[in-house]
């Protein structure tokens, strides 16, 4: 028999045993108590794991939870069916970090939890669940919805006397700063980042200090303050190395490498990116892997290695599309447009620039001055190579595309042919 046939037979036998076991548990009245014990166990396991997810043991505990994620999903289904509000709030809070792997699923979990807890009094767990809903909405590009949840969470924390988890609150305030930047309110963004820096340095939370200044540093260099941004990103990388969390180190490495690339320091960027694969090995962090391939795409573009850029960009698209990360997909579209332009695919470049413009416009996001200048120059170059009517048609085509259509278009019209040619 074939391997596939043997696997199918084995699966059928296991399913038969499973159904028999469930029937026996029902017959003896043991099913409900067992489901309760299972729910308590896996909720406790997730709560235990989250205590270690910001430190050097984070990768091991990350893998521990993901290895049992099918059981955790089963527990969540039971919790929802039984309307176990307390367990739902605990589980939602404990799984916050794992929403990076699948923001769509995380959003469903958070919204269902908030629905169950609609009549619950304010509590730290309710703040966490509200924050999780906001975080997932933010990852998915539902920025106004995310902001509403974040403001609601801050209001709840005020009611309970500021007893919510400081790390949750720090992430939330950081997202509000990014949201201000996205709207073009740069003074407010800087003020929010500065206030968060004061709070976390007073607490002494090195992980949160590092996370705050890496995002603050990105905003500074994107506003033309390159030295200030460089200093912040360097400090963030030092702190993340000291804390030892793989996710944070990877973010700091790729963000610092991106600034090296912008400044033409390609060897320095490469020396940081070479550190990423060992950290990613067996880590199951698709969001960080997608960001790594995005940085590698930028480095390859800067070096003129267009085939390699296409290969890395395909992997980045895959990860960002799977996790639902709106901001990552935005960067992917723009890299694909640059790649198309560099390869003489001017209509495709215009389509992608138009599609991205429509996507960010739909969520109330505007480009910062440096990015706007770069994209205007790219669009002007592409238009100069085409008949105006053809260029206008390409722009209209891109503006009409959905996010999924843009991803498919980039793969089909840019990445696959350029990767093959390269």
Alpha-carbon span 80 to 75, nearest angstrom: 9
Residue 9: per-residue pLDDT:
47
Q: Which of 378, 380, 374, 381 is nearest to 224 (CA)?
A: 374
Q: Determine phi and psi for 204, rounding to 5 degrees.
A: 85, 25
Cα separations in angstroms, 383 against 58, 176, 347, 386, 390: 48, 36, 8, 5, 9
The gap from C-alpha 333 to its chain's centroid, in whole angstroms, comes to 16
The contacts found for 81-86 with CB under 8 angstroms, 24 or more apart, are 83/116, 84/39, 84/116, 85/116, 85/117, 85/120
Q: Crossing angle of helices 124-139/85-94, nearest 10°?
A: 50
Angle among Cα 343, 400, 183 to the nearest 5 degrees reads 90
264 torsion bin: left (phi>0), alpha (psi -120 to 50), beta (else)? left
How crowded is residue 421: how many other Cβ atoms within 10 Å of its Cβ? Answer: 10
Q: Which of 263, 323, 264, 376 is nearest to 293 (CA)?
A: 323
Q: Which of 365, 349, 363 is nearest to 397 (CA)?
A: 349
Radius of gyration of the chain (CA): 23
Count Cα neighbours of 172 within 13 Å in the Cβ-side half-sphere: 27
**Tens digits of per-residue pLDDT, 247-306?**
999 999 999 999 999 999 999 999 999 999 999 998 889 999 999 999 999 999 999 999
Cα separations in angstroms, 292 against 142, 197, 300, 328, 335: 24, 26, 12, 11, 14
Residue 2: per-residue pLDDT:
45
Q: Are 338 and 302 in contact (CB under 8 A)?
A: no
Residue 57: per-residue pLDDT:
92
Alpha-carbon span 213 to 234, nearest angstrom: 9
Residue 54: per-residue pLDDT:
86
Q: What is the mean pLDDT of each run of 10 residues along the chain (422 residues)?
A: 48 61 65 82 93 89 89 93 96 92 94 97 96 96 96 96 88 94 98 96 95 98 98 99 97 99 99 98 93 99 97 97 96 98 98 98 97 98 98 98 97 88 52
Cα separations in angstroms, 28 against 14, 24, 37, 55, 81: 21, 6, 16, 44, 21
Helices (H) and strands (E) in the chain, counts: 23, 0
Helix intervals (H) in 83-205: 85-94, 103-116, 124-139, 143-159, 166-182, 186-203
Cα separations in angstroms, 121 against 75, 124, 229, 262: 24, 10, 42, 49
How crowded is residue 265: how many other Cβ atoms within 10 Å of its Cβ? Answer: 14
Alpha-carbon span 338 to 345, nearest angstrom: 10
Q: Which of 54, 6, 25 is nearest to 171 (CA)?
A: 54
Cβ neighbours of residue 237 under 8 Å, at least 6 residues apart?
Answer: 210, 214, 249, 252, 253, 256
State in Å, rounded, how far the first CA of the chain is from the last one. Answer: 42
Helix intervals (H) in 263-387: 266-273, 276-280, 286-303, 306-323, 326-342, 346-362, 369-384
Q: Are 306 and 343 in contact (CB under 8 A)?
A: yes
Q: Which of 282, 284, 277 is nearest to 102 (CA)?
A: 284
Cα separations in angstroms, 417 against 132, 200, 343, 379: 40, 48, 10, 21
- Can you read off the two tokens belonging to residue 162? 């500021």
The gap from C-alpha 192 to its chain's centroid, in whole angstroms, comes to 21
Residue 421: per-residue pLDDT:
54
């Amino acid at each position: 028999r074939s391997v596939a046939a043997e696997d199918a037979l084995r699966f059928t036998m296991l399913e038969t045993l499973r159904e028999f076991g469930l029937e026996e548990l029902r017959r003896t009245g043991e099913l409900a108590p067992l489901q309760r014990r299972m729910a308590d166990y896996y909720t406790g396991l997730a709560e235990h794991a989250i205590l270690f997810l910001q430190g050097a043991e984070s990768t091991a505990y990350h893998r521990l939870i993901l290895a049992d994620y099918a059981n955790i999903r089963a527990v969540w289904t039971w919790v929802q069916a039984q309307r176990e509000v307390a367990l739902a709030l605990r589980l939602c809070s404990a799984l916050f970090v794992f929403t990076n792997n699948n923001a769509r699923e995380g959003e469903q979990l958070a919204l269902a939890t908030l629905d169950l807890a609609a009549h619950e009094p304010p509590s730290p767990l309710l703040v966490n669940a509200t924050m999780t809903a906001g975080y997932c909405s933010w990852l998915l590009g539902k920025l106004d919805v995310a902001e509403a949840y974040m403001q609601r969470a801050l209001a709840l924390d005020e009611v309970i006397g500021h007893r919510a988890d400081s790390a949750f609150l720090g992430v939330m305030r950081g997202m509000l700063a990014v949201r201000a930047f996205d709207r073009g309110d740069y003074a407010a963004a800087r003020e929010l980042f500065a206030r968060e820096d004061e709070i976390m340095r007073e607490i002494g939370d090195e992980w949160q200090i590092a996370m705050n200044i890496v995002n603050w540093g990105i905003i500074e260099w994107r506003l033309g303050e390159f030295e200030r941004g460089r200093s912040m990103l360097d400090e963030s990388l030092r702190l993340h190395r000291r804390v030892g969390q793989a996710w944070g180190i990877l973010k700091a490495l790729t963000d610092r490498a991106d600034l090296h690339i912008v400044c033409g320091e390609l060897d320095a960027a490469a020396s940081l990116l070479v550190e990423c694969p060992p950290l990613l090995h067996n880590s199951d962090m698709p969001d960080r892997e997608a960001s790594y391939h995005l940085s590698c795409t930028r480095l390859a573009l800067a070096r003129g290695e267009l085939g390699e850029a296409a290969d890395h960009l395909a992997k980045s698209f895959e990860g960002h599309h799977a996790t639902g990360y709106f901001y990552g997909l935005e960067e992917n579209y723009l890299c694909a447009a640059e790649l198309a332009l560099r390869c003489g695919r001017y209509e495709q470049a215009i389509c992608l620039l138009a599609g991205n413009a429509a996507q960010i416009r739909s969520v109330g996001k505007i480009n910062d001055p440096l990015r706007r200048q770069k994209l205007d120059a790219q669009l002007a170059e592409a238009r100069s190579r085409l008949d105006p009517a053809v260029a206008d048609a390409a722009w209209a085509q891109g503006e009409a595309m959905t996010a999924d259509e843009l991803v498919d278009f980039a793969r089909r019209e840019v990445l696959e042919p350029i990767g093959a040619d390269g």
